[in-house]
Structure 1
Amino acid sequence: MIGYLTRRLATMLALLFGVSVLVFWLFALMPGDHFSGNRSLTPQRVAELRALYGLDQPVVVRYGIWLRNLFRGDLGYSLEYNRPVAEVLAPLLWNSFLVAFAAFVLTWLIALVTGVLAATRQYSWFDRLVTVALFASLSVPSFFLGLMMIKILAIDLQLFPAGGMLDTGSLTSGPARVVEIVHHLALPVAILTFLGAGSLTRYFRSGMLEVLRADFIRTARAKGLGERAVVFSHALRNALLPAITLLAFELPALFSGAIITEQIFNWPGVGRLQIESVQTRDYDVLMTLTMLLALLTVVGSFLADVLYAVADPRIRLVAKVRHG
Structure 2
Amino acid sequence: MTRYILKRLAVMVLLLVGVSVLVFFLFALMPGDYYSSNRTLTPERKAELRALAGLDQPVIVQYFIWLGNMLRGQFGYSLVYNRDVTDVLAPLIWNSFIVAFAAFVLTWLIAIVSGVLASVRQYSWFDKLVTVGLFASLSVPSFFIGLLMIKIFALDLQWLPTGGMLDTASSSTGAARVLEIMRHMVLPVAILTFLGAGSLTRYFRTGMLEVLRADFIRTARAKGLKERSVVFSHALRNALLPAITLLAFELPGLFAGAIITEQIFNWPGVGRIQLESVQTRDYAVLMTITMLLAALTVLGSFLADILYAVADPRVRLVRAGSRA
**Interval containing the TM-score (normalised by the shorter chain):** over 0.9
Q: Kindly indicate whether the alpha-carbon contact (under 8 Å) linking 2:24 and 2:63 is maintained by their aligned counterparts in 1.
A: yes
Deviations 1:33-69 (A, max 9, x none): 0000011111111111111101111110000000011
Q: Which residue of 2 aligns with 1:295?
A: 295
- Tell me if 1:177 matches 2:177: yes
The separation in 1 between residues aligned to 2:219 and 2:4, in whole angstroms, is 35
Q: Which residue of 1 aligns with 2:207?
A: 207
Note the C-alpha offset of 1:73.
1.1
Q: Which residue of 2 aligns with 1:163?
A: 163
Note the C-alpha offset of 1:6.
1.4
The separation in 1 between residues aligned to 2:99 and 2:2, in whole angstroms, is 35
Q: Which residue of 1 aligns with 2:319?
A: 321
CA 185–58 in structure 1, closer or farther in 2 if over 3 Å, else same: same
Note the C-alpha offset of 1:5.
1.3
Q: Which residue of 2 aligns with 1:267?
A: 267
Deviations 1:128-183 (A, max 9, x none): 00000000000000000000011111000001000000000101001110000000
- Tell me if 1:194 matches 2:209: no
Q: Kindly indicate whether the alpha-carbon contact (under 8 Å) linking 2:4 and 2:320 is maintained by their aligned counterparts in 1.
A: no
The separation in 1 between residues aligned to 2:259 and 2:319, in whole angstroms, is 45
Q: Kindly indicate whether the alpha-carbon contact (under 8 Å) linking 2:263 and 2:271 is maintained by their aligned counterparts in 1.
A: yes
The separation in 1 between residues aligned to 2:16 and 2:278, in whole angstroms, is 22
Q: Which residue of 2 aligns with 1:120?
A: 120
Deviations 1:239-287 (A, max 9, x none): 0000000000001000000000000000000100000000001011001
What does 1:75-90 correspond to in 2, within 5 Å? 75-90=75-90
Q: Which residue of 2 aligns with 1:251?
A: 251
Deviations 1:91-133 (A, max 9, x none): 1110000110000000000000000000000000000000000
Q: Which residue of 2 aligns with 1:153?
A: 153
The separation in 1 between residues aligned to 2:147 and 2:201, in whole angstroms, is 25
- Tell me if 1:16 matches 2:22: no
The separation in 1 between residues aligned to 2:157 and 2:307, in whole angstroms, is 43
Give secondary structure in 2 for the equivalent of 1:313.
coil
The separation in 2 between residues aligned to 1:44 and 1:320, in whole angstroms, is 62
The separation in 2 between residues aligned to 1:321 and 1:89, in whole angstroms, is 42
The separation in 2 between residues aligned to 1:14 and 1:204, in whole angstroms, is 33
2:39 partner amino acid: R
Note the C-alpha offset of 1:71.
1.2
The separation in 1 between residues aligned to 2:90 and 2:251, in whole angstroms, is 18
- Percent of counterpart pairs with the same letter? 77
Q: Kindly indicate whether the alpha-carbon contact (under 8 Å) linking 2:4 and 2:318 is maintained by their aligned counterparts in 1.
A: no
The separation in 2 between residues aligned to 1:322 and 1:298, in whole angstroms, is 20
The separation in 1 between residues aligned to 2:177 and 2:71, in whole angstroms, is 37
2:52 partner amino acid: L
Note the C-alpha offset of 1:322.
3.6
The separation in 2 between residues aligned to 1:323 and 1:265, in whole angstroms, is 47
Deviations 1:211-250 (A, max 9, x none): 0000100111111111001000100000000000000000
Q: Give the TM-score normalised by the residue count of structure 2.
A: 0.98
Q: Which residue of 2 aligns with 1:236?
A: 236
2:319 partner amino acid: V
Note the C-alpha offset of 1:21.
0.1
Aligned length, in residue pairs? 322
Q: Kindly indicate whether the alpha-carbon contact (under 8 Å) linking 2:3 and 2:318 is maintained by their aligned counterparts in 1.
A: no
The separation in 2 between residues aligned to 1:106 and 1:309, in whole angstroms, is 24
The separation in 2 between residues aligned to 1:173 and 1:288, in whole angstroms, is 31
Q: Which residue of 1 aligns with 2:138?
A: 138
1:77 partner amino acid: Y
Q: Kindly indicate whether the alpha-carbon contact (under 8 Å) linking 2:55 and 2:62 is maintained by their aligned counterparts in 1.
A: yes
Q: Kindly indicate whether the alpha-carbon contact (under 8 Å) linking 2:99 and 2:189 is maintained by their aligned counterparts in 1.
A: yes
Unaligned runs of at least 5 residues, structure 1: none
Q: Which residue of 2 aligns with 1:219?
A: 219
1:320 partner amino acid: V
Note the C-alpha offset of 1:321.
3.1
